[in-house]
Structure 1
Amino acid sequence: MRLPPFPRVRPVPASPSRAVDVPEAQRPFRLPAAGRPDVAVVVLHGFTSGPASVRAWAEGVAGAGCAVRVPLLPGHGTRWEDLAATGADRIRAAVRAEVDAALAEHRHVVVAGISMGGALALDAAAHRPVAAVLVVNPALRFGNPLAHAAPLLRHVVPSLPAIAGDIADPEAREIAYERTPVGGVAAVGRIQRAAERGLGRITAPVTVFRSAQDAVVPEASHRALLRGLTRAPVEVVPLPRSRHVATLDLDLPLLIAASRDAVARAVRRD
Structure 2
Amino acid sequence: MQLLPGAEPFRHDGGEVGVLVCHGFTGSPQSVRPWADYLAERGLTVSLPLLPGHGTRWQDMAVTGWQDWYAEVDRELWALRERCSEVFVCGLSMGGALTLRLAARHGTAVSGIVLVNPANKVHGVAARALPVLRHLMPSTKGIASDIALPGAVEVGYDRVPLHSAHSFRRFLRMLDAELPQVTQPLLLMHSPQDHVVPPADSARILSRVSSLDVTERLLERSYHVATLDHDAETVFEETYAFIGRLSKGLAELGTAPGG
TM-score by length of 1: 0.88
- 1:182 and 2:158 equivalent? no
Letter in 2 for 1:213: Q
Q: CA deviation at 1:39?
A: 0.5
**1:79-120 Cα deviation digits (max 9, x unpaired):** 111111112112111111111111111110011110001000
Q: CA deviation at 1:224?
A: 1.3
Q: 1:100 aligns with which of 59, 62, 78?
A: 78
Task: Tell whether the 8 Å contact from 2:186 to 2:211 is kept in structure 1 after alignment.
Answer: no
Residue 153 of structure 1 corresponds to 133
- Structure that is richer in helix per residue: 2
**1:141-187 Cα deviation digits (max 9, x unpaired):** 12214223222211011100111111000110001112111111112
Q: CA deviation at 1:218?
A: 1.8
- 1:87 and 2:75 equivalent? no
Residue 250 of structure 1 corresponds to 230
Q: Which runs of 5+ in 1 are unaligned?
A: 1-19
- 1:208 and 2:188 equivalent? yes
**1:208-227 Cα deviation digits (max 9, x unpaired):** 01113100012321121011
Q: Distance in 1 between matches of 2:172 and 2:149?
A: 28
Residue 25 of structure 1 corresponds to 6
- 1:225 and 2:205 equivalent? yes
Task: Tell whether the 8 Å contact from 2:139 to 2:159 is kept in structure 1 after alignment.
Answer: yes
Q: CA deviation at 1:232?
A: 4.0
Residue 143 of structure 2 corresponds to 163
TM-score by length of 2: 0.91
Q: 1:79 to 1:232 in 2, by over 3 A?
A: farther
Letter in 2 for 1:56: P
Q: Which runs of 5+ in 2 are unaligned?
A: 252-259
Q: 1:117 aligns with which of 84, 90, 95?
A: 95
Q: Distance in 1 between matches of 2:7 and 2:194?
A: 24
Residue 48 of structure 2 corresponds to 70
**1:111-134 Cα deviation digits (max 9, x unpaired):** 111000100011111112201101
Letter in 2 for 1:167: I
Q: Distance in 2 between matches of 1:266 and 1:133?
A: 11
Letter in 2 for 1:174: E
Q: 1:164 to 1:24 in 2, by over 3 A?
A: closer
Number of aligned residue pairs: 248
**1:35-66 Cα deviation digits (max 9, x unpaired):** xx111100000011100110111111223221
Identical amino acids, percent of aligned pairs: 40
**Secondary structure of 1:264's partner?**
helix
Letter in 2 for 1:27: E
